[in-house]
A and B are shown apart, each in its own frame.
Chain A
């Protein structure tokens, strides 16, 4: 009987570059920076790494396919380097690869590293690509992610009979909070607090999503070195240990896009993956037990719906929780303490590991008081890649001993 990987894998060290428009750095430069910081934090050398998993999404520009570019850039010593792409969950997928490698007993120490170099396109945004397959080139809508997520907002308001003004007010709070948090974070791409009035006055990108409801494109890299608890105790005796409590992925079955049952107002993969993650972590009541979260706020409505899909807010109750400050930095479950995608940035392959980086440092109490979460026990990260009716969701839960 499969029992998951709870407490079988711990984080030995992590690194994360500043995210942003890194015109001066290549993908390889960013990988080296993230790796160097992670090795220093872990207190080991490159030769101690036995295997690596690389998370990266786009290959049209960026670092190409396969594991060679990354292995060359970091001059890894002929170890396995496996490239993983699963949309915005790619970073967490790489972490999962490394964690499973260690949990299986195949390796003592493994590297998960994510990177995305997107600012060489010559235009804003991700490159066009047949991301959903060649068949969709012929029949897929002329759609962008904001437009697909905008439909989540209209369907959400309709399903719960909540006036759109109220949903927009909650989305505004979501964005306002991330900007408050991001302003305090030196590694964040955008460090600027905004007023709610400034958010409300912005234009619609895709109704009802405004300019401040959408995330951006960043360059960046993040790395995690994982090992078994036994190896950790040898290398870092008597130090607090951040343990992996759960790692779950769920991928759309195609039901949301073509069958008649999906409500259009929730994300089925998040509901499935989080249920399994809580079971793996032994969490019974996430609203009471989860201490903090980094969720995939690609759009403000995604964060809003995610609060319900993670079984933290009751269905239809997320706007109330959000506006009551439940997810603020000083609320019951701070969400996006590092600024989230909207302020920290979103280099796709690195984002999942960036979120883990925040949970790791919060659990170890390393951040200054003005942005520290008080006495965290469990931290949760969440990625959502794709669009509401067809996507990949990853959930990871961490705890500290």
Chain B
């Protein structure tokens, strides 16, 4: 499935009532001849009703089809991506990203 990814500003808190997260860096993983866009992110769950915690995690918008091809009305870059589907590819990409970023708890796919 094709989709758009809006690039959030780096190191800027995106806050909910339970905590916040932020994008630390954006990366590209070569996989089967394609480029997987991924975001290295961190979160602090500091004001949730039910505990506290935090983690490093990776978010994968998809395979890049057009990187930062336009800006949206808020001035943020927008890329065109194709979602990563299927357990096999997701599993392998997860494995590669975990190896690249030890200690990160989650690899989540859009």
Direct touch of chains A and B (CB < 8 A)? yes
| Chain A residues close to B by CB (< 8 Å) | 21, 123-126, 144-146, 175, 189-190, 192, 194-195, 197-198, 200-205, 211-212, 214-218, 298, 342-343, 345-346
Instruction: Let me know if B49 and A190 touch, CB within 8 A.
Output: no
Q: How far is the CB of B3 from chain A (nearest CB, A)?
A: 10
Judge whether B52 is part of the interface by a CB distance below 8 angstroms. Answer: yes
Contact residues in B for A146 (Cβ distance below 8 Å): 48, 50-51
Judge whether B57 is part of the interface by a CB distance below 8 angstroms. Answer: yes
Instruction: Let me know if B18 and A215 touch, CB within 8 A.
Output: yes
Contact residues in A for B69 (Cβ distance below 8 Å): none
Main secondary structure of the interface of B (DSSP, over half): strand
Instruction: Let me know if B15 and A125 touch, CB within 8 A.
Output: no
Q: Which residue of A lies closest to B74 (CB)?
A: A195
Contact residues in B for A125 (Cβ distance below 8 Å): 47-52
Contact residues in B for A190 (Cβ distance below 8 Å): 15-17
User: A124, A175, A202: which contacts B52 (Cβ < 8 A)?
Assistant: A124
18 further contact pairs, Cβ within 8 A, besides A205-B18, A214-B18, A214-B50 = A124-B19, A124-B51, A125-B52, A146-B48, A190-B17, A201-B14, A201-B41, A201-B59, A201-B110, A202-B16, A202-B21, A203-B106, A203-B108, A214-B45, A214-B49, A215-B17, A216-B47, A342-B16
Judge whether B65 is part of the interface by a CB distance below 8 angstroms. Answer: no
Contact residues in A for B5 (Cβ distance below 8 Å): 197
Instruction: Let me know if A298 and B15 touch, CB within 8 A.
Output: no
Q: Which residue of B lies closest to A128 (CB)?
A: B51
A343–B47 CA distance with the chains assembled, in angstroms = 12
A126–B39 CA distance with the chains assembled, in angstroms = 32
A212–B55 CA distance with the chains assembled, in angstroms = 15
Contact residues in B for A204 (Cβ distance below 8 Å): 57, 106, 108
